[in-house]
Amino acid sequence: MIKQPKFHSAIFDNAEASMIHDGVAGSDQPDVLRLAICLPEFSPLQQAMSGYPADAAYIQQAYIVLGLQKLGHQLTFVSPYELDNTICTTEIQDGKLAPKSWSGRGWFRIITKGTWKVQQWLKIPYLNVFSNLTYLDSCLRCLPGHDLVYERNGLYNNSVAKACQRLNLPYVMFFDADQILELEYEGMPLTGLLLIRAQRLLQFNLAAADYIICVSEPSRDHLANNWGVPKEKTLLFPNGVDVEKFRPDLETQLQTRASLGLDDQPLIVFVGSFYKWHDVATLLDAFAKVLEQQPDVHLLLVGDGARRVAMEQYAAELNVDHAVHFTGLVAHTEVPQLLAAADIAVAPYPAMDSDLWLSPLKLFEYMASGLAVIASNVGQLAEVITGGKNGLLVAPGDSSDLANGINRLINDPAFRSGLGRQAREDAVNKHSWDHYLSRLERLFAAIVKGQPYENL
């Protein structure tokens, strides 16, 4: 038995209540489905469900899992564990190991170790061949009896898709990003056999999937243009937000601002993992320009990541560190109160060779919090934000344009408040997790029944 963190369901009580009250689980609810939820890793989902700091991708999956459970569906969680085991459990807090057959035999272990020694001698990288076979073996034993299998895309793995083909189970793939492209953008490109292996496995999964859920229109276009996936096979499901947890709250605003040592000074907030594409450097450049005209303004940078230290150093080089607050890693449950304290929220992104494929959680959480949002005019941000109505769009990577937008909102409180009100209304009406889960449930039910899914 693997020791795992305790699960605290109270973290998501508001999300649960809102789904029930909005009638998502009403009388027209589809039949109870037996769903296998397959993830590249298990512990990050546990962390997200338990309220511990977690990557946005698993916070997103935690909301999906919670919503499906509240709708009454039976979930089994399946995930690789280390290199030679698989987790297969119905309880998120209980990481039970899945059974094996041939992959647990002595001859298989001998071949695995022998092959790896030969690869090391030949300087061939580890290619996940035998770990994939082990995962496939366990999937063939865990997945029978389920109505549908849902898998979040991961590198170097096609075991779930293969098992679904052999078992004749519907397979839905969740594609939030092309990790091969992300690694290339981060300056850590896959090369040689690793690249070939990753490409072949992803191509297999894309071909095997009955439907592919994409988080943005650019990600659908990327699959069509770069991987040859038919558009009719992909569905657009932008991320959502818990509109009860993220909301304007004057009392929380005053308390949080007091804890930050602020009174009525303008406060700008950014939430993220300091990835290269989050473009915090341009934000700091813009903030330095804003400080020249607004000497009492403050910037709150929420989150952590590999580039955080570099950004702290850059803030010092710009002589703005006295007005910039780095929170470090925080649990997702703490983000609503930090957003409630702010006046303006920013989502800066650079100009990129390929269109931004993401569906940033932060964008919808900013909007639900009633903040005036300034976002780069890229990808899905340009589709969600209508300049001058529910936020402002600025040129990507342009610190002067971003600074001008911030100054405009600081100098015009009425305009700023109007943007925030409209952003909140749009988040509630278009981007709630309730709306997302209702669509997802209809999709799963249609696939299981062999019916076409309408209302794409």
Residues 407 and 395: their CA atoms lie apart, in Å, by 15
**Claim to verify: residue 299 and residue 191 sit in the same structural domain:** no
Per-residue pLDDT tens for 372-394? 999 999 988 999 999 999 999 99
Q: Domain check: are 261 and 410 in the same one?
A: yes
| Predicted TM-score of the model (pTM) | 0.86
Same domain, yes or no: 278 and 377: yes
Identify the band that residue 30 occupies on the pLDDT scale cut at 50, 70 and 90: low
* Residue percentage of the chain with pLDDT more than 90: 72
What does the pLDDT average to over 92-116? 90
In a domain, 268, yes or no: yes
| Residue 305 pLDDT | 86
Q: Which residues contact 361 (CB under 8 A, 6 or more apart)?
A: 56, 59, 60, 239, 241
As a whole number of angstroms, the distance between CA 245 and CA 242 comes to 5
When divided into structural domains, the chain yields a total of 2
Whether the predicted pLDDT of 452 surpasses 50: yes
What is residue 26's predicted lDDT score, i.e. its pLDDT?
A: 38
298 and 201 fall within a common domain: no
pLDDT at 354: 65
Range list of β-strands (E), 298-367: 298-302, 324-328, 344-347
Q: Are residues 313 and 219 in the same domain?
A: no
Domain for residue 454, yes or no?
no
What average pLDDT does this structure show over 440-453? 91
Indicate the pLDDT class of residue 456, thresholds 50, 70 and 90.
very low
Can you tell me whether residue 185 is helix, strand or coil? helix
Q: Has residue 177 got a pLDDT over 90?
A: no
Answer whether residue 69 shows pLDDT above 90. yes
The proportion of the chain whose per-residue pLDDT surpasses 70, expressed as a percent, equals 92
Structure tokens, 398: 């342009």
Residues 279-308 have a mean pLDDT of 94
User: Domain range spanning residue 106?
Assistant: 9-240+433-448
Mean pLDDT of 202-222: 94
Specify the CATH number for the domain of residue 222.
3.40.50.2000
Shared-domain flag, residues 294 and 168:
no
* Residue 456, domain member (yes or no): no
**Does residue 315 surpass a pLDDT of 70?**
yes
> Which pLDDT score, from 0 to 100, does residue 258 have?
92
pLDDT(13) > 50: no
Same structural domain for residues 229 and 267?
Answer: no
Strands (E), 10-73: 34-38
Helix (H, G, I), strand (E, B) or coil at 252: helix
Residue 1 lies in a domain: no
Residue 453 lies in a domain: no
Co-location of 284 and 326 in the same domain: yes
In a domain? residue 245: no
Predicted pLDDT at 195:
94
| 345 and 443 inside one domain | no
Q: So what's the pLDDT on residue 374?
A: 98
pLDDT at 157 over 60: yes
pLDDT band at 186 (very low <50, low <70, confident <90, very high): confident
Higher-pLDDT residue of 453, 339: 339
Asked whether residue 87 is domain-assigned, the answer is yes
Q: Say which residues have a Cβ less than 8 Å from residue 41's Cβ, sequence separation at least 6.
A: 58, 79, 80, 154
pLDDT at 358 over 80: no
Looking only at the bridges linking them, the beta strands covering 85-89 and 74-81 are: antiparallel
Same domain, residue pair 330 and 439: no
Q: What is the mean pLDDT of the chain?
A: 89
Residue with the bigger pLDDT between 13 and 140: it is 140
More confident residue, 117 or 164: 164
pLDDT at 311: 95
- Alpha carbons 444 and 34: distance in angstroms, whole number: 10
| pLDDT value of position 455 | 52
Are residues 174 and 206 located together in one domain of the fold? yes
Vertex 359: Cα angle to 354 and 363 (nearest 5): 120
Domain assignment present for residue 29? The answer is yes
What's the CA gap between 166 and 208, in Å, rounded? 11
Note whether 18 and 132 are same-domain residues. Answer: yes
Mean pLDDT, to the nearest integer, of 338-344?
96
Q: Whole-angstrom Cα distance, residue 150 to residue 39?
A: 9
